[in-house]
Amino acid sequence: MIYRLRHSTTFEYAQPVSLVYNLLHLKPRPLPWQAGHSSRLTILPEPVVLREYTDYFGNIVSYCAIQQKHEAMRIVIESEIEVMRRPPATPSGTPWQDSLDALRQLKGPMVCDAAQFVFESLQLHHLQEAMDYVMPSCIEGRSIHEVAIDLMHRINKDFTFDPTSTNVSTPVLEVLKKRRGVCQDFAHLMISCLRCVGIAARYNSGYIQTTPPPGKPRLQGADASHAWVGVFCPQNGWLDLDPTNDKMANEEFITIGWGRDYSDISPVKGILMGGGDHKVKAEVDMIPEHEFLAQQQQQQQQQQ
């Protein structure tokens, strides 16, 4: 599947801003199942510095510096991405109780990378409440694969999607109490639970294809960023699971990157001087290429 992706973020400030430094995680990273054919980043006001580098986790980061007074800033990235079908997930035979021992015994860069995702991070801590929630999934003898799949099912069943109930800094403990949240919250919860029992889990950031209701057109800018979970199975590598939609990640998902939690891979983060209160508006369009070309053809016919 080839997608045309457009992500626009607008910041409007109550007072003029004189200086901005930002780190942007907006460009999809190349993966065995994902290839970027093109990508164009536009920032207004135009930055005096704009450069690209790869961070510690291998994600593509754009660094920009704006050094002129402005009352609004707009960041737009337009990409063309091809997503291929992933190899079928093979259940791991490693019992979840042996997950830490398996990480210690195996060798190689993949295992060394996975080991860091067992520990606490800036937004995720080892909570007794998370341990209590995950234990019904941790039946003795179950594999890491089976524990993670069962936990994904339970989170999807037990928690309600509610975009008004949380924000980007809501802790896992509050999500557990409210039983409500969004994709970021459910990903954080699942990761926290798995790490409590020694299973390596990372936070994946990107997008998922949405389908408009039957007979209804796709609304412009109505899509959104998405989050899901990577679970490490020592014999089989990473398994990507989406507790919000109760499914394995497939060719409907575009991956921007991953980290220990949201703070490592947030779309836009940085510092500014001035501004006061500000409003943020994000609009995302993730359109299959055949649909995108049909829209363009229709627009050309209307103009004629």
In sequence order, which ranges of the chain are alpha helices (DSSP H)? 99-105, 109-115, 128-134, 144-158, 172-178, 183-196, 262-265, 289-303
Question: Is 278 within 8 Å of 12 (Cβ atoms)?
Answer: yes
Give which of 139, 193, 135, 186 is closest to 158, Cα–Cα.
Answer: 186
> What is the pLDDT, as a whole number, of residue 293?
78
Q: Please name each of the domains of the chain with its CATH number.
A: 2-84+266-303 (2.60.40.2250), 96-262 (3.10.620.30)
Question: Is 264 within 8 Å of 273 (Cβ atoms)?
Answer: no
> What is the pLDDT, as a whole number, of residue 294?
75
d(Cα 85, Cα 34) in Å, to the nearest integer?
9
- 65-109 per-position pLDDT tens digit: 999 999 999 999 999 999 999 887 777 677 898 887 877 776 666
d(Cα 274, Cα 69) in Å, to the nearest integer?
9
Q: What are the structure tokens assigned to 216, written together?
A: 């209804």
d(Cα 209, Cα 229) in Å, to the nearest integer?
17
- 199-248 per-position pLDDT tens digit: 999 999 999 998 766 666 655 555 789 999 999 988 788 999 999 999 99
- 159-195 per-position pLDDT tens digit: 999 999 999 899 999 999 999 999 999 999 999 999 9
d(Cα 172, Cα 257) in Å, to the nearest integer?
21
- 133-142 per-position pLDDT tens digit: 999 999 998 9
Per-residue HEC secondary structure of 216-253 comes to CCCCCCEECEEEEEEEEECCCEEEEEECCCCEECCCCE
Tell me the mean pLDDT in the region 113-126.
93
**What is this structure's pTM?**
0.92
